[in-house]
Amino acid sequence: MEETTKPQATTERPASGEAAPIIRFRGVHKSFGDKVILDGLDLDVPEGQTLVIMGPSGTGKSVTLRHVIGLMQPDQGQVEVWGKDVNQIARKELVALRKRIGYLFQDGALINWLNVGDNVALPLRENSKLDEAEIREKVEHKLELVHLPGIWDRMPGELSGGMRKRVGLARALITDAELILYDEPNAGLDPEMSGSINQLIAEIADTLGITSVVVTHLQSCVRVVADRVVLLEKGRLVVDLPRDEFLASKHPRVRSFLGDDPD
Amino acid sequence: MFRAIQETSRMYGARVELLFEAVMQLHGTWRRRSQIADQLYVAGVQVTHVVLLVGLFAGMIMALQTGLYLAQLGQQDQIGVIVALSMAREMGPFITGIVLAATAGSALAAELGTMSVSDELAALEVMSVDRTNYLVMPRVVALAIACPILTIIADGIGIAGGGLVASTSLNVELQLYFITALDALKSPGDLIALPKDVYSGLLKAFVFGIIIAVISCHAGITTRGGALGVGRATRQAVRDSIITIIISNYFLTWLMYQA
C-alpha cells in the first residue's frame, strides 16, 4: 500500500502546555527493582493531537502508555487524564474514564476463545444496556471502519497479525473512545501491512477527530500518523518537536535514532 | 527461611482474598452460565475417563491389599465394608482432587497464565471487565460442582473394582460383597439424615474443587515472564493444590470425625 504523509498541522496546534492538555504527566518516576524506567517524566498531550512516542527498547514508552490508563501506578509524580489524577480517583470514576479511552495492545490481545464479533462486542455486553441487535450493528460498523467486514465468526487464531490488530482497534473504538493509545501498532508486521495500519490510524484520527498517542520506533509510522513526536531516553524526554521539525532535526539523538531505523 | 514463610503467607492471603472476591461475585452465576457449562465440560466430562481408570484401580488395589490380610484372619467377608468406607471417606475425594489438580488445575493455570502474558487480562482491565466475575467465579463454581460429581463416580467405580478383586481373587461372593459395602455406607450422620460417610466425602470434594480452582486461577492471573512464567505458574498451581488438598483433608477429617 502506498503511504501518504499526513499534512503537517503542528503549526496550527498549540504547543505542549499552551492549552489544557487531556493527558498530563508531572514528574513521573517508575522503577522495576533497581531499573529506573521513568525518571521524572513531564508530558502534555492536547486534545485532537496525534502524539508519537519514540525511543530505544526498554526506555519506558509502553510503560508511559500504561500509566495513562491506570494499568500501572507511578512510584512518584502525577498522571492526569481529563484533569483527573488516574491514581487518586475512585474505582467507579476510573471505569468511567476508561470507557472514554481505547487501547490497542501490541498483539491485539483478543480473548482467544471468543470469535471476532464477540471480542469486539465484549465491552458493550459487559458495560452497556444496549440490546443484542444494537450491539451487532455497532460491531459491524466498527469492523467496516477497520476494513474487515464480514469476519464476525472467525476465531483469533485464524487471523493474521495485521488482522488481529485491526480487530483490536475495532474493539478499542467500540465505546466511541475519545482517546486511543496504540502500543507498537506495527510490531511484527511486514512493511505492507505496517503501512496499511499507519494509514488506518491516520484515517481514524482525521475522520473521528480522536486524540491519539502512538508508541513506535518506526520512522514510516511517524511520517504518516504524527502531529508531534517525542523521543524518550532513559525515562526522560530528550526531544519534543512537531513532526516535520523532528524529521529534519539535527539533534544527535534524533539523527542517531532515525539513522538506525530499518525503514 | 523467614522470607519463605513470609512469602507463603502472603500468597495464601492473596488466594483467600481471591476466594472472597469470587464469593462476592456469585450473584452473577446465572449470567455466566454458559462459561460455567464450558468449564464443567473441561473439568468434568473431559476428566471422567481418568477418574474412572484411577478409581477402578484404587478400589482394586485396596481390596487386594486388605483382602489378603483379612483372608489370613478368615475375615475376607468384611472386604466390602473396608473398600466402601475407604472410598467414600478418603480415597474417592482424594484421588478425584489429585486428578483434577493435575488435569483441570494445570490447564486452568496455563490458560489464564497465557492470557496474562499476552495482555488479554490487561485488555479486560482496560475494558472495565471484572476478571473475577468474568474468569475466576465461573471456574470456581464449575470445579465446586465437578469435583463432588466425579467423586461419586470414583466411589462407585472403586467399590465395583474392589468387588471384582474380591470375587475373583479372594473367593468372596459378589452379592455378599455389595450387600456389606452398601450396609456400611448407610449409617446416617448426626447433623444430616444422610449416610455420613458419603456426604462427608462429598463435602471434602466440594472443598477440594474450590481449592484447586482458586489456587490455579491465582497462579494464572499472577503469571509474569512469558512462556517460562506460564510453566512456573502451572507447576506452582499443581504443587500447591496437592499440598493444600492433603493438609485440608486432615483438618476436614478431624472436623467431621473427631470434633
Reported as a pLDDT band with limits 50, 70 and 90, residue A24 is very high
Residue of A nearest to B114 (CA): A112
Q: What is the spatial distance between Cα B57 and Cα B59, in angstroms, rounded to a whole number?
A: 5
Neighbours of B103 (CB within 10 A): 18
pLDDT above 60: residue A18: no
**pLDDT score for A84:** 92
The answer for residues whose C-beta is within 8 angstroms of residue B218's C-beta and 6 or more apart is B11, B14, B15, B18
The answer for residues whose C-beta is within 8 angstroms of residue A169's C-beta and 6 or more apart is: A102, A104, A146, A180, A200, A204
Please compute, for residue B34, the number of CA atoms within 13 A of its CA located in the half-sphere on the CB side.
3
CB distance A100 to B101 below 8 Å: no
Q: Is the Cα dihedral A16, A59, A184, B132 positive or negative?
A: negative
Could you give the CA distance from residue B120 to residue A11 in angstroms, rounded to a whole number?
Answer: 39
| From A107, A112, A126, residue closest to B127, measured CB to CB | A126
Question: What is the C-alpha separation between A146 and A112, in angstroms, rounded?
Answer: 20
Per-residue pLDDT tens over the stretch B80-91: 999 999 999 999
Measured between CB atoms, which of B115, B123, B128 is closest to A127?
Answer: B128
CB spacing of B127 vs A127 below 8 angstroms: yes
State pLDDT tens for residues B173-219.
Answer: 999 999 999 988 887 666 666 788 888 999 999 999 999 999 999 99
Average pLDDT of chain A, as a whole number = 87
- Residue contact B127–A98, C-beta within 8 A: yes
pLDDT at B201: 93
Q: Is the pLDDT of residue A43 over 50?
A: yes
* Cβ <8 Å between A112 and B127: no
Taking the Cβ of residue B126 and every Cβ of chain A, the question of whether any pair is shorter than 8 Å is answered with yes
Burial class (CB within 10 angstroms; exposed 0-12, middle 13-18, buried 19+) of A237: middle
Which grid cell is A254? 534524533
What are the chain B neighbours of A103 within 8 Å (beta carbons)? 123, 126
Q: Where are the alpha helices (DSSP H) in chain A?
A: 61-68, 91-99, 116-127, 132-145, 161-173, 191-208, 219-225, 243-248, 252-259
For A196-224, give one letter per residue: b (16+ CB within 10 A) or e: bbbbbbbebbeeeebbbbbbbbbbbbbbb
| pLDDT profile of chain B (259 residues), mean per 10 | 88 95 94 94 94 97 92 88 93 96 96 95 94 96 97 96 93 92 79 78 96 97 93 96 96 86
User: Given a cut of 80, is residue A13 above it in pLDDT?
Assistant: no
Q: Determine the pLDDT at residue A15.
A: 44
Nearest to A170 by CA among A215, A216, A123: A123
Residue A4: pLDDT band by 50, 70, 90 thresholds?
A: low
All domains in chain A, ordered by first residue: 47-75+92-259 (3.40.50.300)
Q: Is the pLDDT of residue A115 over 70?
A: yes
Interface test with B, best of A126, A127, A215 (most B CBs within 10 A): A126
d(CA B9, CA B12): 5
pTM of the model: 0.86
Closest CB from B118, B122, B128 relative to A71: B122
**Greater model confidence, A92 or A6:** A92
If contacts are CB pairs under 8 Å, which of residues 135-174 in chain A contact chain B? 171
Question: To the nearest whole angstrom, how far is the Cα of B31 from the nearest Cα of chain A?
Answer: 11
Residue A95 touches chain B, beta carbons under 8 Å:
yes
Residue B259's pLDDT is: 65
Q: How far is the alpha carbon of B129 from chain A, nearest alpha carbon, in Å?
A: 6
Q: Please report, for chain B, the start and end positions of each structural domain, with discontinuous segments joined by +.
A: 45-258
Q: Which of B208, B220, B212 is nearest to B240 (CA)?
A: B212
Tens digits of per-residue pLDDT, A80-98? 999 999 999 998 899 999 9
Can you tell me whether residue B194 is helix, strand or coil? coil
How far is A126 from chain B, CA to nearest CA, in Å? 6
Alpha carbon distances (Å) from B124 to B94, B116, B249, B257: 35, 10, 36, 45
A183 and A64 in contact (C-beta within 8 Å)? Answer: no
Is A109 close to B128, i.e. CB distance below 8 A? no
- Tell me which chain A residues have a C-beta less than 8 angstroms from the C-beta of B126: 69, 71, 98, 101, 103
Q: Greater confidence, A18 or A47? A: A47
CB contact (8 A) between residue A107 and residue B123: no
